[in-house]
Structure formats: structure tokens, C-alpha cells
Chain A
Amino acid sequence: MNFDMTEDRQMLSETLSRFLADRCDWETRNRVAYTAPYTDAGRWLALAGLGIPGALVPEEHGGFGGTGFDISVVFEALGRALCPEPFLPTLLASRVLGAVGKDQTGLVDGSIRYAVGISEIDAPYDLGGMITCARANGAGFSLSGRKTAVYGAQVADRLLIAALLGGKPAVFEVDPRAAGITPYGMIDGGGAAEVLLDETPAVLLARDAGALLNSVIRAGRLALCAEAVGAMQFAYELLLDYLKTRRQFGVAIGSFQALQHRTVDLLTEIEQARSITIAAADALDGPDGDLKAAMAKNLIGRAARLVAEETIQMSGGIGMTWEYAGSHYSKRLVMIDHQLGDTDHCLEEVMQSYAA
């Protein structure tokens, strides 16, 4: 048993955090996060230069990481800085490309940007309700349907799309220029797009891809959990700072037990969130990978909302303002629950382990 980070990951974390402190400072973050295209091309390439996409890709596919703990260390640092650059789609795409043995050079060096479309309006988190479908079309395939809230699709060079083929989920590559892309910004910063597919030409990457998509989703869940841990930790530190400096009734408001005990409860839940994320990272590609990722995403959904709402409440009116960094953390922490399976959906997946 060992809970220390390896030296390599420690270095990666420090390098990334230093870079973000410099290039994703508060004003820059908000300007990029809330202005189309919701990403900064120069910063993206600089991050790729630091090896951040490479850390998400296993060695045999041209990267130098790709394990659960590589993913969590990267996303925790991104979450702490509330960085809106779309690394989640990079991770999801890498899992797809790795599984089908496609070259990832462009993904690793940042020159090719991917987005992965799985969610649909009526099937946001489950593959079972998917209706986007593929049709054989001469030598290739064409896709029809609509993929919703495809993160990173506003700037993607390539789309990886889940669609039904013969009644089973399959994965296709689509040229975004051939699809209808409606880009938008997100309430918590960053961007996505609706992807409208109408007899859109597509290249089949994987048939019968239920298991593959599950492995993509569980890695994505782990990443979101780690991002939330980083964001929660920072929001908590901001709150502590506020409790020590804000004075009312002639004293620092942190001297009030009504606030102290609630802050301790946040600390407790953040530690629990960190623990379940470690457990999910450890289990990622083992037999319990899906279960632990679902457990983690459920607990994170609960903890992140608590931290978001309580930090707003305890920061009073300031917590409600756009000016205050904490408000943007609160938004991200709440909205993470809307990606790749919310609290209830993940709880249900855990409940399914009770069947039989």
C-alpha cells in the first residue's frame, strides 16, 4: 500500500500547475472560457508541448501514461485552475483510437483535435436509448441523428460518433465539415456543439462497441471526478480565506460555529471524494473499473453540489457575483454532474450490481 505520487507524476502535476498559473490566470481564464471558440489555440498547442495529451495516452500508442493515476493527476490540476481547454474529449478519443489501433500522433502533439459524440437528448447517459443510426452506403456508411452537447466539437478536426449499427452501438469517424455543427458556450465556461447528422458519410472504426464505449465512459468519468476534486479543493481554500478575512459583528465570520461545522462537513466530503477517485483510478481497467467509476461519479455528484452550494451560501452576496472566482467554481462543480452520467444514473448502475 502506498499513497504517494510517483516522482514523474509529481513533476507532471507541478509543471502543469505552474503553466496554468501563468497562462490560465483568472482574467485570461474567463475571457477564453466565455468567448467563442471557448479555447485558446496557442495555449492548447503549448499544453500539448508540455505533454499533457501524451500523459493521457499509453506508451504503446505513442504517449507516456494513460493509466488511472495519469488521468487523475492531469485532470485534478486542470480542475484546480478551472481550465476550459477540452482535454476530456482528447482522453475519450484516445481510448477509442487505442482500442481500434489507430495512430495517435496528431492527438498527442495537439495538431489534430478530436471530439467524441455519445450523448443524445433522450439518452444523455445510456447507450441503450441511443437512436442515431448508421446505414451501409456502398463502400462506406452514413449516419443520421443528433448528438447533443458534444464537448470540444466547436473546434474539432475529427469527430468520433457512437451510432447504432445492426441494433448495436458502433463507433464511426466523421469529418465535421460534412456534419451540421452548431457551436455554443457552456454556462460554466468552455464550449461544445450539437452535431446534426443527416446521411453524413462516416468511416466505421468499431463494430459491436458496447464494451469499448463503456471503457471510454468510465475513463471520462474518472477524469471528471478528478477535475471535480481539484476544483472542490480550490473552492474550499477560497472559502477558508473568505471566512478568515470577512468581518461582521466586529469579528471574522470564521469564528461562528454555524459556519465552522458546515465547513468541516465540506472538508469531510472532499476527502471522501478524493478517496473514491483514488479507488476508481486504481481500478480503472480492472474487473471493478465500471463499478468503481460509477460509484465515484455518484459520490462526486453529491459532494460537488454540496461544495458548490455551500461555498456560495457562506460567501454571502459575494458568492453570487460574476466578479468572484468562487462563483465560477460553483458553476463547474454543479455542471460536472451533467456529463457522462449524473448522480442518479450512476447510482442506478451501482444498484444493478445487486441483481442476481
Chain B
Amino acid sequence: MDLRFTQQELAFQQEVRDFLNASLPEHICAAVRSGAELPRTVLQEWHEILGRKGWLGTTWPKEYGGPGWTPVERYLFDVECNRACAPRIVPFGPSMLGPVIQNFGTQEQKDSILPRILSGEDWWAQGYSEPGAGSDLASLKTRAERDGDHYVVNGQKTWTTLGQHANKIFCLVRTKKEGKPQEGISFLMMDIPSQGLEVRPIRLIEGGYEVNEVFLDNVRVPVSNLVGEENKGWTIAKFLLSHERTNIAGVGISMHALEEVKSLARRMIRKGKPLIEDPLFAARIARVEIDLEAMKTTNLRMLYQAQKQGHPGPETSILKIKGTQVNQELRDLARRALGPVAAPFPGTITEANLMFGPPNSEANAATYFNNRKTSIFGGSNEIQRNILTKAMLGL
């Protein structure tokens, strides 16, 4: 037992810090710190900076132009990026489609798609869920029918995150109606815009536009846009969902959120004293800090296992459940710390110079509401419990 990082890992951590110090522009940090939605330009600029460094496809092996990092290195990179207030990498191209193409794509697909992800040229979106297929994803109905060298696609996708910025989308579509639902699904890539494809925004609880519906009406897609074999898409979908789980616990983001909560609680005053001296509030912080401290070790234990076995196991579902609980609790505390200052609807305070609350506090309640999503997306926490029931409990 030894919880220390190796000299190599520490050197890597320093390299990441140095890079972030030198290359993360201040205006990007400021945008992240504000907590507001990040415009495409900011995300794009950061992707391009990482792309030039070769650090955008954090899970990619060297042969595909990735950095070839170990799970521990990816973890350290995530923690340092959060500490430095870097934007998160929009995962659909770099973390999801990239590994899919590397594992299931043709040589031609590898040559044409991978470089454009790494350069940030293509912005990918994901078309998985449908109005009638959420947790029960295999029941999806969007169909693709062969017509010569094309598929003709009809149906509807939903919860397509940042689809409004995308010029490409990968979708799960039904290519066979007979047999088990999982056996008739294919993995298909499409262009945005395409004739018959329409992206419509969905407004979320806090008022932001982050997700979309995608309507598909006789969209013609070349057969060469199929990834893997026809009707074998479910295997790819499962691969994609289980592949990038290094950061599923969100340790980096929660460590940063904890610091934010403490700093807010030192700044806000209650009953004449800093809020952090209020025993009830301090107790709430302490409890979640302890849970996070335990989760850091749980995360490292599982990274260590993944590194040894070469792949993450089903126990990573534990990280998803606990990670989202910790993260949501921290968002709750940040909102609560601000008291009435958290209440105004961002953007409705028109007096530009009015410093209503501490810096970057405006978006706190919105962030709290927005982060309720984390226990729903990526396989809801109930689905994670089903996975664990089968895999770990044997029930």
C-alpha cells in the first residue's frame, strides 16, 4: 500500500501545471469562473490550444496522435485543469467518437475523421436518446432503411448536448425490426446541416440552452458513414458508454467546487461572523469534504485496478453514483452560502456596475439547478444501481 504518486506522475503533474500556466488564456479562465454558459468560441479556442499541444484526445494512444496517457495521468490532467479553471473538453468527438473509430472504424474512416477531431475542425454531437428511449435505450425507434448507397433515416433524437454548435452527429439507429431490440441497432454518422435534419433547442430548468432535439425526416446518409457492421451498433454503444470512465467520479471538478464553497463561506457574513464559523454550515461542508476525501481514494483504487486490468470494471458505477452525490451536495452548499444573493435570475440585473454579491456568484443557483442533470445523464444513477446489482451483487 502506498498512496503517493510516482516521481514520473509528479513530474507529469508539474508539466500539466506549467502548460496551463503558460497556455490557458486569462479570458477563458474568467469565463469559466463566472459559471455562465460558455460560448462556442471559448470552447473552440481551448480545444484548439489543447489540439496543438496534442492533449485533446486524452484517452487516445500515441499511434492515433494522442498522448498515450495512463489512467492516473488522465486523472491528474483532469484535476489540474479544474484547479486552473480550464473549460471541460466537450467529450463527444475527442473522448467518445475518437475511441470508437479507433476500435471499430475502417482505415478510411480513421484517416478522414480522427485528424479533424484532434484539430478541433469537427464538432461532434451525440444522438442516442429518444423521447421514448431514455434509460431503455435499446428500445430506440429512429430507423435507417437502405436505398442503394444510402440510408434513409427517419425519427427523432433528444438530449443532444451542444448540438447547436455541432457540424457532425453520430446516432444509434434501428436497421432491423426483428429479433432482440439490441440486435437491430447500427451506429451511423451524419453531417449537420443535412437535408431533412433539424436541430431544435430545449430550454433547461435554469433557463439555459445546452441540449437539443434532433428531427430526422428522410435524411439521406451515405452507407460509408456506417461505423462497424450493420446491426452491431449496440456493441459500439456499450463500448462508448464504458470507455471513458476515468473521470466519471468528477473528483477534479468536486475538489474545485469544495474550494469555491469554502471561499464563499469565508466571505459571506451571518450573525456578524463569517458563515464558515457557523457550526451548522461548517458541519455540512465537513461532511461532504469527508465524502470527497474518501472518494479520492476510491477513485485512485479503481484507477489502479483499471491500470492493472487494462480496462475499467463495473465498480466504476460506484464512482458515478457517489461522484454525482458529492458534486450535487457541493452545488447545494454554494447556492445556500449566498443566501438571498443567489436568488436573482442571471442577466436580469441590468446595472452593469452593481456588485450585488461576491465575484462569480451570479450563476450559482443556476449551476445548482443545472447540475441536477449529473445523476440523470450517462446512465441514470438508478441504471448504475441496476448495473451493480447484476455485476457486483449477483442478484
Contacts and interface: CB of A to CB of B under 8 A. Distances in A.
B392 interface: yes
Contacts of B395: 240, 243-244, 252, 254-255, 260, 263
A350 B315 contact: no
Interface in A1-20: 1-6
Contacts of B4: 1
A276 B297 contact: yes
Contacts of A276: 290, 293-294, 297
Interface string A246-285: 0000001011010011011101100111111011011000
Nearest to A263: B393
Contact of A347 (B2, B283, B295, B393): B283
A348 B290 CA distance: 12
Most chain B beta-carbon neighbours within 10 Å: one of A6, A278, A348:
A278
Contacts of A281: 1
Contacts of B304: 1-3
B298 interface: yes
A228 interface: no
Nearest to B279: A351
Contact of A278 (B9, B282, B289, B297): B297
Contacts of A292: 293
B382 interface: yes
- Chain A: number of interface residues, binned into ranges: 35 or more
Name the prevailing secondary structure of the B interface residues.
helix
A279 B382 contact: no
A96 B6 CA distance: 34
A32 interface: no
B291 A299 contact: yes
A1 B72 contact: yes
Contacts of A4: 1
A295 interface: yes
Most chain B beta-carbon neighbours within 10 Å: one of A4, A261, A274:
A261
B3 A278 contact: yes
A347 B286 contact: yes
B264 to A, nearest CB: 13
A354 interface: yes
B262 interface: yes
Given A1-B300, A254-B395, A261-B382, A350 B290 contact: yes
A186 B321 CA distance: 37
Contacts of B389: 257, 260-261, 263-264
Interface in B281-309: 282-283, 285-287, 289-291, 293-298, 300-301, 304-305
B265 to A, nearest CB: 8
Contacts of B295: 272, 275
Most chain A beta-carbon neighbours within 10 Å: one of B1, B287, B389:
B1
- Chain B: number of interface residues, binned into ranges: 35 or more
B220 interface: no
B293 A267 contact: no
B256 interface: no
Name the prevailing secondary structure of the A interface residues.
helix
Most chain B beta-carbon neighbours within 10 Å: one of A4, A271, A298, A299:
A271
Interface in B17-49: none
B318 A271 contact: yes
B385 interface: yes
Contact of A279 (B287, B294, B384, B386): B294
Contact of A351 (B5, B286, B293, B382): B286
Most chain B beta-carbon neighbours within 10 Å: one of A6, A298, A350, A354:
A354
B293 A2 contact: no
A329 interface: no
Given A2-B2, A282-B3, A347-B283, A267 B388 contact: yes
Given A272-B298, A354-B276, A267 B3 contact: no
Contacts of A279: 3, 293-294, 296-297
B287 A271 contact: no
B330 to A, nearest CB: 15
B322 interface: yes
14 contacts: A1-B2, A1-B9, A2-B1, A240-B394, A257-B389, A260-B389, A264-B389, A271-B318, A282-B1, A295-B294, A298-B290, A347-B287, A350-B290, A351-B279
Interface of B: 1-6, 9, 72, 262, 276-277, 279, 282-283, 285-287, 289-291, 293-298, 300-301, 304-305, 315, 318, 321-322, 382, 384-386, 388-389, 392-395
